Structure 1
Amino acid sequence: MSDTQKIVLGSGKLYIMEFTGEMPENNVIETEENRLGHIKGGASLEYTPTFYEAKDDLGQVSKKVLTEEEAVLKSGIMTWNLNKLKTLCSTGRVTEDEGIRTLKIGGAGNYDGRKYVVRFLHEDAADGDLRVTVVGSNEAGFTIAFTKDAETVINAEFKAQPADKDGTLIILEEEIEGV
């Protein structure tokens, strides 16, 4: 087993597809059809565990348990269309008629409950690719800012939900040398 450490430089590509209960293969996820958009500002992954610690008054005995975990994959999306934007809002409905695509957002009764496979792919020809995968949905909403001197970037935050019966929140994969 190789234990070579890497320096990861640069951004990557962001893909999204509906989660059907089974994790698709890389070549199924990583297609232009599933590309959410080009990224601006990179991507970040946050993992936050929460612990409860029971201690006696004198600090002589204690026991600690993990009570919950949270994982969030964040990225700025610079290129998009309304079909892709719909994946960021759980009440979105897209229609197309006579050359016009319309996205309607809102109405709690329109909540679709969909979960998505969200994949960030950092390609590195020298050291091997790195993949970050979560299953979840964008729970942070979004802001679309139209300014005169900057591109419009939509910041998405995908909150991970368990991807399997083991409760997996994050799947990190790195290509390793000599294997």
Structure 2
Amino acid sequence: MKKESIVLGSGKVYITEFTNTIPEDDVIETEANLLGLVQGGASINYSPSFYECKDDLGLVSKKFITQEDAVFKSGVMTWNGKTLEKLCSTARITEDSESKTRTVKIGGAGNYDGKSYIIHFVHKDAVDGDIRVTIVGSNEAGFELAFAKDKETVINAEFKARPQDSEGTLILYKETAVA
């Protein structure tokens, strides 16, 4: 088992379409599934909502979770038009090999594809062991492309998780100890 440690550094984000099962890590962690290299790190935010009922005198109470949300955020620094297809559920891509042109059309509510993706973050640590965080979801925050003369264009993706199995799992967190 992985011992407690200080986690330093960022990692890589992989993405592939979700088809009702999450494949093994080595199937996901391929160059073809790399969303892009990260800038500004990555974060996962889990936020439950509770309901608590109490009697007027405060003698009895009962509390339960009414809702859970999980959101994965990351800045994607290396990207191309195919990346936009995974970040926008209305994107359509055409490629012309003769002219070496890729065209991405974005928008049109009727073009909503309804796809969910496996978003798989890998933090490698040769000293303390690796960490993998996996969610299933889609980017629901849109994106901004800002082109500045003195700064790289980073797309800040925000994927909202949905249940990935029959137990309602939103976040799959795995840690591997160093041998």
Calculate the TM-score normalised by the size of structure 1.
Answer: 0.96
Residue 52 of structure 2: aligned partner:
53
Residue 167 of structure 1: aligned partner:
168
1:144 maps to a residue whose letter is L
Q: Does 1:33 align with 2:32?
A: yes
**3-state SS of 1:27 partner:** helix
CA–CA separation in structure 1 for the residues paired with 2:3 and 2:39: 29
TM-superposed deviation, 1:142: 0.5
TM-superposed deviation, 1:93: 0.3
TM-superposed deviation, 1:176: 2.3
CA–CA separation in structure 1 for the residues paired with 2:16 and 2:123: 18
Q: Indicate if the aligned counterparts of 2:141 and 2:157 stay in contact, CA closer than 8 A.
A: yes
Listed as ranges, the gaps of 5+ residues in structure 1 are: none
Residues 1:154 and 1:56: Cα distance change in structure 2 (over 3 Å): same
Residue 136 of structure 2: aligned partner:
135
Deviates more, 1:133-142 or 1:58-67: 58-67
1:61 maps to a residue whose letter is V
TM-superposed deviation, 1:177: 4.7
TM-superposed deviation, 1:58: 2.2
1:59 maps to a residue whose letter is G
**3-state SS of 1:83 partner:** helix
Calculate the TM-score normalised by the size of structure 2.
Answer: 0.96
Residue 3 of structure 2: aligned partner:
4
**3-state SS of 1:33 partner:** helix
Matches within 5 A, 1:1-179: 2=1, 4-97=3-96, 98-177=99-178
TM-superposed deviation, 1:3: 6.1
Listed as ranges, the gaps of 5+ residues in structure 2 are: none
CA–CA separation in structure 2 for the residues paired with 1:96 and 1:3: 45
TM-superposed deviation, 1:59: 1.8
Q: Indicate if the aligned counterparts of 2:53 and 2:63 stay in contact, CA closer than 8 A.
A: yes
**3-state SS of 2:87 partner:** coil
For residues 54-104 of structure 1, give each alpha carbon's deviation from its aligned partner in whole angstroms, at most 9, with x where no partner exists: 112222211111101000010000000101111000000000123110110
Root-mean-square deviation (CA, aligned residues, Å) is: 1.0
CA–CA separation in structure 2 for the residues paired with 1:139 and 1:158: 6
